Amino acid sequence: MKKSTSAPTQAAPDKKPVSWLKISVIVNIVVVAIIAGGVGGLVLLHQSDTNPMLCRSCHVMESHVDSYLTSSNLDNVHYQAGVQCKQCHDYSIPAEIRSGFLYVTGNYEEPLPKIKVGNEMCLQCHISYEHIANATDYLVKNPHRSHLGEMTCTTCHVSHGEQIDYCGQCHDNGGQRLVGEDIIPRVEPVISTH
């Protein structure tokens, strides 16, 4: 008789039945977390589009938001006209996430670097350089019909700061005021009846 060299067969361990209830609970928790994260992200995105106080919560933005809401600068003129911050500060969602991350980690530049704005940003609302020149044609000396041609808007216009009287560096500007200066009523010409 031959001896068997194979190991004795062991009984297979009992497999636990799949608990569909546990799987269902885990899947539902994951789905709810994804939905809650998505809704939370959309709410945050909406707030960043429409609520300047959200931006102000970062201390490096306080002066910019305060200027936008209360100053006599051009940014407040835009605020009064209903222009939202992100209509000029066009941040993509990844850029906003990056900015938030840099703020939370304290890894940001202070003061914030100035952004470069080209005429195309201004002309999204102000239509065209010719349109602006026509709209300001009532001025004694129209700065938008300059002998220098079409200049960059930011040569004179500063959003979060005092405007630059570029023409006044060489010329008498005819008593015209810049955005942010005190409003002094114009003197009406006296017409003689003699």
Q: Which residue has the higher pLDDT, 191 or 71?
A: 71
Residue-level pLDDT at 67: 92
Report d(CA 72, CA 53) in Å as an integer.
Answer: 19
What pLDDT sits at residue 11?
59
pTM: 0.69
Boundaries of every domain in the chain: 25-105, 119-169
Give the DSSP H/E element, type plus range, for residue 42.
Answer: helix 20-50
Residue 193 has pLDDT above 80, yes or no: no
CA 94 to centroid of chain Cα atoms: 13
How confident is the model at residue 80, as a pLDDT? 94
H runs (alpha helix) in 51-191: 52-56, 62-70, 74-80, 85-88, 93-105, 119-126, 129-135
Q: Looking at residue 49, what is its pLDDT?
A: 81
DSSP assignment letter at 10: P
What is the per-residue pLDDT across 22-63, written as a single tens digit (0 to 9) for each? 999 999 999 999 999 999 988 988 888 888 998 888 878 899
